[in-house]
Chain A
Amino acid sequence: MNEKQKNIRNFSIIAHIDHGKSTLADRILEYCNAVTKREMEEQLLDNMDLERERGITIKARAVRIDYKHRDGQEYTLNLIDTPGHVDFNYEVSRSLNACEGALLVVDSTQGIEAQTLANAYLAVDCDIEIVPVINKIDLPSADVDRVRGEIEDVIGIVAEDCPAVSAKVGLNIDQVLDAVVEKIPAPKGDETKPLKCLIFDSHYNAYLGVVVYVRVIDGVLRAGDKIKLMNTGAQYDVVEVGYLNAFGLQKAESLSAGEVGYITASIKTVSETRVGDTVTTVENGASEPLQGFKEALPMVFSGIYPADGARYNDLRDALEKLKLNDAALSFEAETSVALGFGFRCGFLGLLHMEIIQERLEREFNLDLITTAPSVIYKIEKTNGEVILVDNPSNYPPTDTIKTAYEPTVKSSIITPTEYVGGIMDLCQDRRGVFKDMKYLDSSRVELHYIMPLNEIVYDFFDALKSRSKGYASLDYELAGYEPSSLVKLDFLLNGEIVDALTFIVHSEKAYARARKIAEKLKDNISRQLFEIPIQAAIGSKVIARETVRALRKDVLAKCYGGDITRKKKLLEKQKEGKKKMRRLGSVEVTPEAFMDVLKLDDSEK
């Protein structure tokens, strides 16, 4: 190990949502004068509005900080930020793999939560040093000792002398930096070996093309090098290398083993540079890529349509722009009889889906209609063929299905004990299979269930929150496919199937859901000049029905004193509403009605 390498510390901060990860990052930067208070936009690492609002970090970033330790030596600290949500587990694990250690931030008023554990386990899997940091000690309800105990008991790491800080008020930040330097090992790696860099993030920049963030494991990388991405096989000429500090990208001569930095190489989309891929040189390159590379696999699907059909092209442009920076987002054009032209989009999980939908609406000013989230079903047909179905409309007829499989997840729920009963009922209701229950301490419990993902994507998280007054936390990971008794539930308006309302549902729950949605449709469809029958059907068997009665009165009788404009305005408003309507055969439905029907938030509580 050379001198330079000895004084490098590569680390991440991991935490449950809202435990103060980003605030701590800010304080560290501030403390090291990497950025002055005035220059610092609050929570610098989260540089998307949406992230800041939701208090979560979506895309990882890496910042280099120069730090003079009390031993008099200069250290280079690379802080690699990680996304803080279960949907981005793979990205988190790649970021952690780029580090030798992680600060595990735990809120001293809350204690360990589901994502604290999930993140801690990821760090253990990556075999990196975990340094607990107990945060928010300025709050009156802080209980540092209890949380220390919890960390030792539940995660099994020493927390006795770990820093207890308040990132908000900047208390004891020096202790955190001491711990980074003293507890986290310097990177290993050999400059003389063939080049191996781990890609842990990338983002699209309009001037530079894709900026790829890497951790150099072995070798040296220079501008002008011919590089190869080992999993995709793509080759590029490196235009520039450097590192990111609080002021932006800083060009450098080279990046060598142990260092963290960026590469630009005229790469056009982030999907060419997959997180977890290995960069090496074309000549004298490494023979084996780094372990652990995975394709970004969407787990949750939803149809996204512009509320105004004329904005289809805008929606496509917006999705393409988002895709530039989000390799995990997938989309393909889809046509729905009910909703017109749109896209079937794949997401890593529910949060990812919500974020994309919100960004489309906010940053691109689009009004969207989104169908209920769906998962991928695996169908073994009677003719031996196996197909994957991500759109309920494409679910094959029952008589052609030998066995249907649905994805399940291992879910971990941490909750105060008083809500255990309600949460167990909920999990039961959502077809969860109980695995075990562990007391974290006398007041908190961790529950494990195997659950169909299909049940989680329908508002499970909201239901969990409402049954625990917001205290329960959830984490889940994919646990494979299980055979299941599934049916395709269609809804018919005036005798015509509305494809956007087709659901795949467990046979035992079909009746309840059919009734609920039929009722919701009845409440949400505005009356028209004829009666509209609503039917829910499995195949040709109708299992629920409702009727929207015909409209008989819609008149403004009075046209008083020559006030024509009042009536005109009223009609114009009515006409505007009509324009937004979607025509389903002979029935008109507002986009809002669709969304209300698809919102299942109270459907099974």
Chain B
Amino acid sequence: MSHAPRDDWRPTATQAALQKRARILADLRAFFHARGVMEVEVPMLSAAAAPDVHLRSLSTWVHRPGVGAQRRWLPTSPEYPLKRLLCAGYGDVYALGKVFRDGDESRRHQPEFTLLEWYRLGFDLQAMMDETAALLQAILGPQPVLRLRYDELFARFAGIESAYTAEAGVFRRALTAAGKEIAGVDPEDTLLWRQLVLTEIIEPQLAAHGVVFVWGWPREEAALAALSPEGYALRFEVYVAGMELANGYEELREATAYAQRFAQWNRTRRRLGRPEMPVDARLLEALQANGGLPACSGVALGVDRLVMAALGVEDIEAVVAFPVARA
């Protein structure tokens, strides 16, 4: 990633890569147009931010005549305004545009990147996985598709049974057996050791399996997904070429549950010494108005990574004209 300074004005993506990217953006819009899903734009300057513990929102100041300076937050995803539209009865919607996550910069991350997020009324998690698979095939061509529940994934690729209930030591020992050295994790932090088994042992093996859907996440990682009667989250992640590409939920609908999860995340933020985020009060109002959020599922998909998968490249800079280092 080190380049001679005199070349800094140049794009990092080739013209052919940007042509492919433009084609994919057009194909995504055509896919949703054909299915009657409406494209909408969401605010880039929101009064609220996502309190998810591991997201870092960027902010700026807006000077409003007669109101004064207000701190506004750049979206980490279009989720909250899209859900307000759903609550308002506007039907199936999607947003395709930039989102912002501070501090993220690697071969697969940029602090500003392009996200596609769409919502489908009446779809359960399985139907949403079907549509996501159809979308991926439309862009990437025919692909083998593997669907595994979270515990099946751990059994098959890490030899760990009962991933939902196993204790920290089970995950820790699997990492040690695989020769993985880890620093800074509390020996009893089950969630982190489980996450590390996923990223260090399982994900590298998924590259050989085309499109992999992992569904039924542990309830601690439900985010804003509803819970199944068995107690796991109705959430899926899609991996393509071993890369995390999309994240889908059968959506949580109860306003009180949203308020509880937001408050809980902000408490965790306080405990970890991270700034608390202003909760989206208008979303909470919308969830209580006119019957609230209709039964639906939603998916957020990283478009830069989709282009990477389509081109078979490993570095996000190959699909972005001007990454943050040259922006």
The answer on A and B forming one complex is no
Question: What residues make up the interface of B, taking CB atoms closer than 8 Å to A?
Answer: none
